[in-house]
Amino acid sequence: MSDPSRPTAFGQPLTGHTSDVSSVASSPTARTPLSAGYDGTVRLWGIDVDRAVARICDVTRTTLNRQQWLEPIPGLPFDPPCT
């Protein structure tokens, strides 16, 4: 995850696929990202939710509005983490 205008690595790269990654998605709770690769595998990844939220708030430097919240996580009630 990074700001597209200033791309920087965040944490360690996720490893496990033996070929290119074809898609990335998130669980309905946004706590378990998953990826699918051209190697024919799907991987579930554990994340440190508090660290991810802190990074999102740092990068966006704003509170998410209702529309921004609903785009990636439509199944969760509106409860922006950044104040």
pLDDT single digits (tens) 19-53:
888 998 877 766 778 889 999 998 888 777 777 77
Tell me whether residue 80 is in a domain.
no
Tell me whether residue 82 is in a domain.
no
Tell me whether residue 53 is in a domain.
yes
Edge to edge, the sheet with strand 33-37 lists 21-26, 33-37, 42-44
Query: Count of domains in the chain?
Result: 1
Model-level pTM?
0.44
CB neighbours of 36 closer than 8 A, spacing ≥ 6? 21, 22, 23, 24, 42, 43
Supply the range of the domain harboring residue 28: 21-70
Token duo for residue 42: 């799907």
